[in-house]
Amino acid sequence: MFGEISERQATDTAPGILTIDLGALVANYRALQQRAAPARVAGVVKADAYGLGALRVAPALYAAGCRDFFVVQLSEALALKPALGADARLYVLSGLQPGAERTCAEAGVVPVLNSLDQIDDWSRLARARGAELPALLQFDTGMSRFGLSPEEAEALAADPARLAGVRVLYLMSHLACADEPDNAQNADQLAAMQRVAAAFPGVALSFANSGGIFLGNDYHGALARPGIALYGGAPTGGTANPMTPVVRLDVRVIQTRTVPAGARVGYGATHVTAGETRLATIAAGYADGLPRSLSDRGSAYLGDVRLPIAGRVSMDSLTLDVTALPPGTLRGGSLVELIGPHQTLEALAADAGTISYEILTGLGTRYHRVYR
């Protein structure tokens, strides 16, 4: 029978170390709460808390005073609920698949109802149980993704009996361009949300995401829903990131070598050395959340020294040009920084031609995780 491995064994045998600073996470939550006040701030912990571990992240937020948590799937809520206090409230952003209503109600989970069909099904269950069931109503204010259309919102407002048995906690919508403060769609969506609020007077709003918290009080509503900002990602583009970094990623060197001028490196031989070059192959690739698009573009760091990626990123490894380091600096088992004080999450994402969300959620399970 296999026993559990020790912390030392886990650290020594993993391809890298993913450090998750729960203190920084809590600091970000408190900073967002201060900015959004008097609105409350929820924790968006969908996709396993953006890949960082919902069963560790959500309890840390709960201990800091957070009581509202958003996931996307009912299965996520059911898995997370036992890890939180009885006064925590879990919301399912995508609503419910037909037939899941009873399971949701029995678990005390709150659905975000995105269609008239979902509203009808939730109301039917409430009436059958003879008790009100809480829900959020989502409205499409310009993103064309989830929520009631303007025409459906108007029909619902004109037929309030359709909500029989449903206790509407918040009217909700999602900002499409909140990370671009000057984008005119923000104001368009705010105006649309204000029209929804007028049609359902007296019901609180949940509107702001991470970027929305920084657009001003008009966007906050009563319950803000930050995601990426909690995890240290920049809530808006073009300005200094006000959030505290939460994640650090260091990856181990597998092998080093010196090759002559003209050596071909990696799949497809896309990189050819111009002169004698020292290379280090490290133990992470696109299966570990380092996108193939980093090929010949991205880098790692050792201290202040940038170590460019040479050639294509493979599934389980990539190769660095380490010629800038003194010979013998790196050897098998050495660690190089992929995300940290010398290379931010946003910088790595930019080199990959993607966004910080995709990097975080793709980091995978092979790294040894250290929660601080």
Q: Which residues are catalytic?
A: 46, 267
Identify the DSSP state of 64.
Answer: T
- Do the beta carbons of residue 20 and residue 56 sit within 8 Å? yes
Q: How many Å apart are CA 44 and CA 54, to the nearest integer?
A: 10
Nearest-5° Cα angle at 167, 63 to 178 = 60
At 282, give phi and psi (nearest 5°): -110, 160
Instruction: Give how far Cα 108 sits from Cα of 40, 73, 95, 268, Å.
Output: 20, 14, 14, 54
Q: Is 145 annotated as a binding residue?
A: yes
- Do the beta carbons of residue 118 and residue 149 sit within 8 Å? no
Residues near 152 by Cβ (< 8 Å), separated by ≥ 6? 115, 116
Q: Please spell the DSSP secondary structure of 338-353, one letter per residue.
A: EEBTTB-HHHHHHHHT
> Token pair 């729960």 is at which residue?
22
10 Å Cβ neighbour count for 116?
16
Half-sphere exposure of 302 (CA within 13 A, CB side): 20
Cα-Cα-Cα-Cα torsion 126, 93, 192, 196, nearest 10 degrees, comes to: 10
Q: Is 193 annotated as a binding residue?
A: no
Q: How many Å apart are CA 371 and CA 358, to the nearest integer?
A: 21
At 327, give phi and psi (nearest 5°): -55, 140
Q: How many Å apart are CA 314 and CA 121, to the nearest integer?
A: 47
- Do the beta carbons of residue 309 and residue 297 sit within 8 Å? yes
Return binding residues for substrate. Answer: 145, 315
Return binding residues. Answer: 145, 315
